[in-house]
Amino acid sequence: MMDDYALIAKTAKEQEDLLRFDHFTARDAWELGAFIVSRVYEEGLDMAVCIRKLNGHILFQHCTQGTTLSNQSWMQRKFNTALLTEGSSLRAWATLNLKGQTPQDQGVSPLEYAYCGGAFPIRLKSGELIGMVIVSNLPHRDDHRFLVRCLAEYLGINGAAEI
């Protein structure tokens, strides 16, 4: 089955537009991170979770027993991609594939950027980009789905379409 990259990119953008915050502070990062980690444990998953400001400053991070240093590398690379594109790393992946391009075509190294799901923008309702929430260890589209599900539940928002 072929991926419908246009639909994936459109749906990811709709999720980004819907899942926005009234405010976002360091304390909000801790509360959101703890919420996501509680879902990780409730679902019996092994995942790394990180929340970062745009300058890269880590406000929250937790890695379950079954993760490795490799997951931190993946989170850094996903963060770089989401920061570069100012959107979810899954939307960046879909857009790249839609154009038939590689990271090198975008002028970036795959050693520093990961065009795959797992990073999602933290944006205020005003549109201001604050940071990124990143997860790693599931297949990349599952990483994205997990994040969207957690964010929708945390924000009390219904209607975030599944990809």
Residue 75 within a domain: yes
Domain boundaries, position 137: 5-155
Which CATH number characterizes residue 144's domain? 3.30.450.150
Residue 161 within a domain: no
Enter the pTM of the model: 0.95
pLDDT in tens, 99-120: 999 999 999 999 999 999 999 9
* Nearby residues of 77 by Cβ (< 8 Å), 6 or more positions away: 111, 112, 113, 114
Residue 121 within a domain: yes
If one counts the domains in the chain, the total is 1
- The torsion angle over the Cα atoms of residues 116, 119, 37 and 125, rounded to 10 degrees, is -150
> HSE (CB half, 13 Å, CA atoms) of 43?
13
Residue 160 within a domain: no
Q: 119-150: b or e for each residue (b if 16 or more CB lie within 10 Å)? A: bbbbbeeeeeebbbbbbbbbebbebbbbbbeb
pLDDT value of position 159:
75
Using pLDDT thresholds of 50, 70 and 90, give the confidence band for residue 2: low
Measured on CA atoms in the order 91, 31, 67, 71, is the torsion positive or negative? positive
pLDDT in tens, 55-98: 999 999 999 999 999 999 999 999 999 999 999 999 999 999 99
pLDDT in tens, 13-50: 999 999 999 999 999 999 999 999 999 999 999 999 99
Residue 146 within a domain: yes
